[in-house]
Each structure stands twice: as structure tokens, then as C-alpha cells.
Structure 1
Amino acid sequence: MTKKDTPNHDGAENAGPVEQERPYNLSYSVGVAENQNSKFRKTMEDVHTYVENFASRLDWGYFGVFDGHAGSQASKWCGSHLHAVLEKDIMSDESRDVREVLNDAFSYADEHINASLGGNSGCTAAVGVLRWEVPDNASNKKIELDQHKRMLYTANVGDTRIVLCRNGHSVRLTYDHKASDILEMQRVEAAGGLVMRSRVNGMLAVTRSLGDKFFDSLVVGKPFTTSVEITTTDQFLIIACDGLWDVIEDQEACDIIKDMTDANEAAKMLVRMALKQGTTDNVTVMVVMFDNSS
């Protein structure tokens, strides 16, 4: 069966029975925790989505966190639709580099949000696709997963971040697109914009997002993408909005949950620590733990 999280809520969706001789346990587990942080925020504009057995493929996974601003329309659209756009593109040509597919999906989302949604909302986004790379000569009847590479592909715009804990050390897989970044500042200025007080035209702290049509070509939806092979030295992923990263460093976050085995409890712990450290934003944390026992 294919199990899918709808934005901010657990849910299930059947994609037809999968014939197996024995039940299959996923090689990863997902935990999510969130907090509006009502002391500082009147609304919750974060959205998260994950899809187990993504694209109806055994042990694939899709993980996404979207941090909305100027409303939640953009983040809600991404939470509800981006994985479907990505799945369609991947299935249309499985030989394509998934990083290219992610780039196309982000570009489509940016254009669709700007053209079809009311208001001027936008959202940062961090997405990961976990899948097994199957050789061309593999049998379609029986594929032993331990024969093939487990690959993780990521894409992000804005400052929602993905951090991999590898052999106890943090490895950042995303790039923070902030107006305080010199390269992003130069790009904005070359496009005719201004960076004032580390904000695009004095208003928006991020330089890349999905939506934000008010900023036209200054704030773009082209993502930073990566690919990495997941091996037995990799313990878990942390995908979180800046509500976490504003107050907790990458390595610190890894250290806080390194001895935990329950993904949900790990995500809750990181949210609690962010609130304790004084974050003033909505907080959403997704933890993906890898099972390396087999």
C-alpha cells in the first residue's frame, strides 16, 4: 500500500495491493512535529508532506517542508500538489536525472502559484526524494534492494534546510537563499533590485521561493539541488524551516537527537528545543531515520 501524509495531517491512500510473500518494513521512518509559536505568530503558515512508497515504488520516499509567508496559499498548494507534479515527471522518463526533474517541478510550481493563486503569498521549500537506483538489466520480478544504491535527491529554495547526519557529523544538503548572502545579493541587484537591511527591496529576507509574484524576477524559484548516496554511515535527515535553524546550528541539532530511535520523538525534541532557545517563528521539523540493521 502507499501511505501518504496530507499537509499537517496523517492520512492513507490505497494504490492497489502489492503482492509479497511477507510484509515489507520500510528502510526508513518519518516523524514530524510542529508548533505555531502563538506567543509570536498569529497564524501557522508551515506545511509538510511525506509520501511512503513514493510513485508506488517499494521503499521510495518523498519528504517536503514548506514555510509560507504573506499568507499560506503557496505553502498549502505545495503541500497538496508538488509531490504529484514531481511523481508525474519522474514516471514520464525514469532515466532523467532526478535533480533536473526537481528543477522542472519547482519551476512549474512557481509559475502556477503566481498565475493561479490569489494574493501575493510565497513559500520556501525543501524537498527530498529517496529511491533505489535499479540497474537496467535487473529482473522486474524480483529485485533485492541490498544489491542497489539508495540515492537521496534534494532541492530547496529559501532558508528551509535539509541536514544529513553522517557518521555523527552534520552535512548540509541545501543552500540558504538569503538576501544577506553575497552571491544572492549580487543576483538580485543584477536583476534590478535592491537589498536593504538584508531584505529584497527592504521587505523579503529570502531571495528564492515559490510564488511571491510581487517581486517578479527578483525572487526566483530555481532551486539548489544535490544528490547523495545513502549508506550505513547515515543515521538520519532533519528537514526543517528556519524556525529551527535560526536558533540551533546543524551539528547541535544532530547531537540533540543522535541517541534517539523514535523519529516522532526526535522531531518533538527539536521543536521543544527551538522554542526553549527563543525562536520567534512557526516551527516545523521532519526527521527521517534510516534503518541500517539489515
Structure 2
Amino acid sequence: MSTAETDPVVGSSPVAAATPAQQPNSLQGLAQRRAEQHQHHHKQNDINSLSSSEHSQFSSDRGSTPPLTDPKISLPGSDSKDKFSAIDDSPQATSSSKPRSKMSSEYDPFAGLSFKVGVAENKNSTYRSKMEDVHTYIANFAERVDWGYFAIFDGHAGKESARWCGNNLHSLLEQEIDLELQEQKDMSETNTHTGQPSDSDTKDHLYKTFIKADEIIEKNAIQGGCTAAVAVLRWESEGSENGHKRMLYTSNVGDSRIVLSRKGKAYRLSYDHKASDKNEIDRVESSGGLILKNRVNGVLAVTRSLGDSYMKDLVLGKPFTTSTQITKDDEFMILACDGVWDVISDAKACKIAADCFKNGLDAQEASRKLCQSAIDASTTDNVTVMVVQFDQGVFD
């Protein structure tokens, strides 16, 4: 059914099953419907994750927070319910890790859920001798019904850091979520809580998770580094008895990218941390580094990453984070490494995927089409593409 790929630095115990957990009262009806439908299709006792690909990118700092609007593509206006912000605090790091397991191609972990996932990858053997990308996705993430976790890690100078993140970062994030809910539970006798972390809490969880992962990688002398693009899709209470909303949280370091398609238009939910970016150049130089030929100290093409411990004073692991309310207007999102974005624009990628859906193809076929399009456009890097299609009918 599934086999575990174990990182040499971490233990080999299998990942806990992604089963439904107790939901808050405001979401109980929805949770029960999702759970019944999910259990009707499958008994899911494995977390469903995958891995693959290669490239080179790096980390982040707080001295110069990048602007929230990418100049290459517009973001929702101020009247939108979307919220975009960067978190940059300095939390302590702790260690926790579990390996992820590979999913059988015959098994659909998303049956009965409100999203579908497709993943495609290509080593691009014309230009690359090995694959250093890793991808992970999890249905019913953190044992909560109809939550999803999606991540792409693009390794450089080896695959060790990317593999470690693919095996462990979701576990660190789940710990942060569970800790927050336990603290809310402990306070419930004197305060009113929904049982759900707030908007800012969830972004903070992602931020802390990236910092912890970066410190654990350094502590364990894991070689190389990787970019990271992570998204969490979840339900939250709106405070009313039966009200709930769909939220998407993202976090990234480096130039792997997350793009949302809304009413046929592309919205970038990540920030490209490159050595050609003015904000990142200023930060690196103010920290005593140099940018030579669009590389940090002439070595790294990205300015933020997880790992790369030998350059951690310049190449940081502090991420850019966003929160976005998902509505009926949102069709799908694309997570991909820079092997895609180097040769395909955000808008074109969304059009390729949208055309696939219009022609009756699924998320898997859309991801394959995007992957092949990058190869056909002569990308020189490994390619990994993840397409997450939203069930818009859930809002009916």
C-alpha cells in the first residue's frame, strides 16, 4: 500500500494516520458530512505524501521585509477579503520529526474531500543528472477533516535538506497547531474560544515551523539547502453557530512559487527571494554580504532557504507568509519549483491548467501538462508541479 522513505537523520516510525478529529461545534455538521463521505470511500490509515526533484535556492531575513505586492502580477484589491502579510519574529526552535510515506498510484486519498491534487515531475535529464526536488501532500492534515497540506522543496547542493523537509516539516507544523489548540482549551474555562487558531495564529505557526526546521537542519549538520513553498487549506469558524469559512495559508522561502487562480486571473501568494531582488540585495549587503552575478557571495541564486547553514548569516530561513479566504471564485492553485517559473509566467500556467479543466481533464492531467510545457519551453532545471483543484460546489 505504501512504503516509507526514511531520512538518515530522523527515526523510521511511520507517520500517523490522517483520520478525522473532533471538530468545533460551528463546523460539526460539515465535519460529519465530510467524514461520512470520506469513510464511505476509503479507510485511510496512512498519511499520503510524495517526493521528487532538484534545483538551487536559499533563505530569508527580517531587516528588509519585501513588499506584499509582486510587481509582476496584481493581487486582490483592498476591498477583497484576501489578506497578505509577512511575519518576521524570532521564535525558539525545538525538534520533532516523522518520515512521510509514498502513496500508491492506485489509491485516491482525496475521495469525498473538497479538493483534488495532481503532481507531475521530470528530472530533465537533458540538463540534470539527478533529481533534487521533494513534494509532499496530506489529506485530512493534522487529523482534521477536509484540511490539506501541500509542499514543494527544491534542493541544491544535494537532496538531503529537501528530503528532510519533505519527511518532517508537516509534523513540526502539526505540533504548533496542536499546541495552540491545547492552550486555548486550557483557557476555555475563563475565555470563549472557537477551538480554531486565528488568522494570525496560523501564519505564526507556519513562520515558527520554518524557523524550527532551519535550526534542526543546522543542528544535525544536514547537507545542502532547499527552497520551500508550503500551503495549508482548512476550515475555520466565523463565530456564528453554523458559520464557517475556507482559508488558505501559505509560506515560502526561495523562488518556488504558489499561484492562485481566481475567476481566471492569476494571483501570486509567494515572494521570490532571489539575489536579483532589490529588497533582498539591500538586506544581504547590509548584513555584510555581496551580490556577484546575481548570486549571494557569488554562490547562491536565492537569498532565503532552509539549510545552507554555512551562509546562514546572509541566507535566512524566515519566510514570507499569506492568508487568503477561499471563495466560490477560486478555482485552483499551482505550486511549482522555479524550473517551471523560469520559462512559464503565472498567467500562462493558470491558463494551461484552466484549459485542461475546461476539457474535462483532472488535476493530475493538468499537472502533467504544465510539467511537459516547462520541458518543451527548454527549462534547464528539474521540474515539479502540484495542482490543487478546489470544489467550488462546497459553497453552495
TM-score when normalising by structure 2: 0.67
CA RMSD of aligned residues (A): 2.2
Secondary structure of the structure 2 residue equivalent to 1:149:
strand
Please state how far the C-alpha of 1:216 moved relative to its aligned partner: 2.4
Equivalent residue, structure 2, for 1:90: 177
Determine the structure 2 residue equivalent to 1:66.
Answer: 153
> What amino acid sits opposite 1:279 in the alignment?
T
Aligned pairs for 1:110-149 (under 5 A) are: 110-119=214-223, 121-135=224-238, 138=241, 147-149=243-245
What are the equivalent positions in structure 2 for 1:233-248 lying under 5 Å apart?
233-248=329-344
Deviations 1:17-64 (A, max 9, x none): 779574141110000000000111111000000011101111111000
Post-superposition offset of 1:12:
9.0
CA distance in 2, matches of 1:102, 1:152: 12
> Are the equivalent residues in 2 in contact too, given 1:73–1:117 (CA < 8 A)?
no
* Corresponding position: 1:269 with 2:269: no
1:125 touches 1:158 (CA, 8 Å); kept in 2? yes
What residue identity is the alignment partner of 1:215?
Answer: M
Distance in structure 2 (CA, Å) of the matches to 1:35 and 1:225: 28
The equivalent residue for 1:171 is 267
Equivalent residue in structure 2 for 1:53, among 132, 136, 140: 140
Structure 2 gaps of 5+ residues are: 6-13, 22-30, 39-111, 182-196
Tell me, in whole angstroms, the C-alpha distance in 2 between the residues paired with 1:192 and 1:12: 42
Change (3 A) 1:4 1:267: farther
Give the Cα–Cα distance (whole angstroms) in 2 for the partners of residues 83 and 4 of structure 1.
18
Q: 2:163 aligns with which of 76, 81, 91?
A: 76
- In structure 1, the partner of 2:388 is 288
Instruction: Tell me if 1:23 matches 2:40.
Output: no
1:278 CA displacement = 0.2
Count of aligned pairs between the two proteins? 281
1:190 paired to 2:311: no
Counterpart secondary structure, 1:90: helix
2:249 to 116, 138, 153: 153
Determine which of 197, 204, 207 is the counterpart of 1:103.
Answer: 207
Contact kept, 8 Å, 1:165 with 1:235, in 2: the verdict is: yes
1:96-119 Cα deviation digits (max 9, x unpaired):
511111110000011111110343
Letter in 2 for 1:107: I
Q: Give, in whole Å, the separation in 2 of the partners of 1:237 and 1:6.
A: 27
Letter in 2 for 1:75: A
- Ranges of 4+ aligned residues in structure 1 off by more than 4 Å: 3-7, 15-21, 135-138
* Counterpart in the other structure of 1:141: none
Give the distance between the partners of 1:137 and 1:154, measured in 2 at CA.
26
- Over alpha carbons, which structure has the higher Rg? 2
Q: Mean Cα displacement is larger for which, 86-95 or 16-25?
A: 16-25
CA distance in 2, matches of 1:46, 1:27: 27
CA displacement, residues 108-140 of structure 1 (integer Å, 9 cap, x when unaligned): 011111110343x000000001110124675xx
| Distance change >3 Å, CA 59–CA 201, structure 1 → 2 | same
Q: How does 1:211-250 map to 2 (within 5 A)?
A: 211-250=307-346
Deviation at 1:163, TM superposition (A): 0.1
1:259 CA drift (Å): 2.8
In structure 2, do the counterparts of structure 1 residues 194 and 263 end up closer, same or farther at CA, with 3 Å as the change threshold? same
Are the structure 2 counterparts of residues 118 and 54 from structure 1 closer, same or farther at C-alpha, using a change threshold of 3 Å?
closer
User: Offset of 1:193 from its aligned partner?
Assistant: 0.4
Equivalent-residue separation in structure 2 for 1:89 and 1:51 (angstroms): 17
The offset of 1:162, in angstroms, is 0.1
What secondary structure does 2:209 align onto? helix
Shift of 1:149: 0.7
Of 13-22 and 66-75, more deviation after overlay is shown by 13-22
Instruction: Give the SS at the match of 1:88.
Output: helix
**Contact kept? 1:6, 1:79, Cα under 8 Å:** no
Aligned to 1:14: 17
Query: Does the Cα contact within 8 Å between 1:5 and 1:50 map onto a contact in 2?
Result: no
